[in-house]
Amino acid sequence: MVMTRQADWRLLDDDALLERRINTFALRIEGTPMEPCVAQLHEELAARGLAFQPPVHIGDEWFCPEDIPAIFVPFYLCEERLRKLERKIILEVEGGTREECMRLLRHEAGHAYSYAYRLQRRRKWQQHFGLASQEYPETYRPRKHSRSFVIHLDDWYAQAHPDEDWAETFAVWLAPGVKWRARYKGWPALRKLEYVDELMRSLEGKPPLVPPRLRVGEYSGLNKKLKTYFKRKRREFAESFPDFYDRDLHKLFSVSLQDGHVPATLLLRQNKRGIINSICHWTGEPKYRVSELLDDLTERTDELGLGADPADSELPLSLASFITSLVMNHRFTGRFKHTR
């Protein structure tokens, strides 16, 4: 009877499900696709001769609590009903494939190891990665062609902070079958990988200095309604959603193809080179970054079916001003925000 009641929430429609608190779902890692991933992580660590196997708990996102050698994985990976809702509302499922899940687990294991053995306090660690006490930036602008950092997770995440540089380097080192000496030959990042290799060899068979003691409920973030979780997540990643620019695009273009109007997407594509050259000339922004933004705007304009009057002499100036404002805002904040 108890099992039946626990299973009932899976049958709720989306609106009713969103009103439930996440910690009432009685989720477990055992028996889910996450279980073999956790087992694989522990096997990879053991194969390296490492004794410490970070415990893995269910939370509201991928993370490792500061100074606590434990890993949290997002709750939606432990139940298909929640996984589908995550994809419907957030448009993606982070860690949803076996390959991506393992990349993230190895990254978080890097954090867990730095806390378990207080590695970030070592002078040599700091010489390679920097100070872990450095404040995390609200945003960061990666140097996409830098060879001083490994490439593991998306968005050149190793460049975000010394802790992330360490975790990404550890993840590349840990991944089985990765010939990192050959892959990063000639890169400054190779020195970091060689340091990780040297450091981990020195820890073989040694228990952690800091045991993973914690009250899971205090860190999991699951004592909130599902709708609150989604509201916060959409707000945090607002610019990643297709409708982020809709308000501004409706100001620039007509909502339908009136007489004499052409698809706005056609106008954008025909003038792409000129728009990019003009904006880059005045802002000094790299062309690839402006091009990526313009491609996003063009795609969304097409989805909305917006039109443009080719005879409107003010439209090119308005369009250039709009995109320039987005670019300049991104330069100082790292985010493309709405115009006011």
Could you tell me the residue ranges of all domains in the chain? 2-234, 239-333
If you compute the radius of gyration of the chain from its CA atoms, what whole number of angstroms results?
24
| Per-residue model confidence as pLDDT tens digits over 45-77 | 999 999 999 999 999 999 999 999 999 999 999
Q: pLDDT of 2-45, one tens digit each?
A: 444 455 899 999 999 999 999 999 999 999 999 999 999 999 99
Longest CA span, the chain: 76
How much of the chain exceeds pLDDT 70, in percent?
Answer: 89
Give the bridge partners for 73, in sequence order: 58
- Burial of 163: CB neighbours in 10 Å, binned 0-12, 13-18, 19+: buried
Q: Which residue has the tokens 């477990």?
A: 28
| Three-state DSSP state, 235 | helix
206 with 118: CB under 8 angstroms?
A: no
Strands in the chain per DSSP E: 56-59, 71-74, 262-263, 307-308
150, two tokens: 């490994």
Q: Phi and psi dihedrals of 58, rounded to 5?
A: -95, 130
**Lowest mean pLDDT across 18-22, 65-69, 207-211, 328-332:** 328-332
Please give the helix or strand (H or E) that residue 232 lies within, else none: helix 226-236
**pLDDT on residue 2:** 41
Percent helix, strand and coil across the chain, each to the nearest 5: 60, 5, 35
Of the two residues 258 and 228, the one the predictor is more confident about is: 228
